[in-house]
Amino acid sequence: MKQVLLFFCFTVLLSCTSKTKQEETTTKKVYDMYEPSEMAILMNQMYAHNLKIKNEIIAGKIPTEFPTDFLNIHIAELSDFKSRNQNFQSFSTLFVAAEKEIFNSESTIAIEDRFNNAVNVCVSCHQTECTGPIPRIKKLLIQ
Ligand code: HEC
């Protein structure tokens, strides 16, 4: 029971609001069957990877390698209730460009600013259709 509750909290915290609402209105069993989409899995990986990059930057290290897995944002399958619309395409292109800038050793912009810029693109895309994870994403920002 405790596990189910924990998982439910986790789902509510992480998922998009539309998904959460959908789950609340269906039967209790639904959250046992929650299967993250390819995109949801990728998003969680991007979160974890950017957290690592943030800690490296704070420790004074300069990250050098763009995580090519991030390019999967262009192909990963979304949950049923989402479509890869024009908006999503534009934001994913913007995001990949911003994330690549973090690893541009020739840039004259401070690494903290380049990192925060990429995180702000995560937030911008989320503001358009998937607001649930925004508070969590904002924690990635380097203060
Ligand atoms: C191009 C738009 C876009 C960008 C950029 C984007 N996201 Fe997302 N994110 C989404 C969408 C859409 C979903 C819902 C995916 C689904 O359920 O299939 C999502 C889901 C998530 C989730 C919830 C996953 C889950 O378990 O349900 C997290 C956490 C997340 N994103 C974090 C991030 C982080 C961190 C970044 C930047 C490194 C980022 N996102 C960039 C659109 C975006």
Q: Is residue 67 part of a domain?
A: yes
Q: What angle do CA 38, 122, 117 make, to 5 degrees?
A: 145
**Is residue 17 assigned to a domain?**
no
**Atom in ligand 1 nearest the alpha carbon of residue 73:** 1
**pLDDT single digits (tens) 133-143:** 999 999 999 99
* Domain contains 43: yes
127 lies in some domain? yes
- Residue 82: what pLDDT? 79
Q: Quick check: is 113 in a domain?
A: yes
The tens digit of pLDDT for each residue in 89-101 reads 999 999 999 999 9
pTM: 0.84
- Sort 124 into a burial class: Cβ within 10 Å, 0-12 / 13-18 / 19+: middle
Mean pLDDT, to the nearest integer, of 23-27?
47
Mind listing the pLDDT tens digit for each residue in 56-78?
Answer: 999 999 999 999 999 999 999 99
Considering the domain boundaries, does residue 77 fall inside one? yes
| 133 found inside a domain | yes
Ligand 1 pocket, CB under 6 A: 14-16, 36-37, 39-40, 43-44, 46-47, 50, 78-79, 82, 88, 91-92, 95, 121-122, 125-126, 129-130, 133, 137
CA distances from 7 to 32, 35, 37, 80 (A): 8, 12, 16, 20
Cα separation, 100 vs 92, whole angstroms: 12
Mean pLDDT of 20-34: 51
Domain that holds residue 96: 38-138
Residue 84 domain-assigned?
Answer: yes
Count of domains for the chain? 1
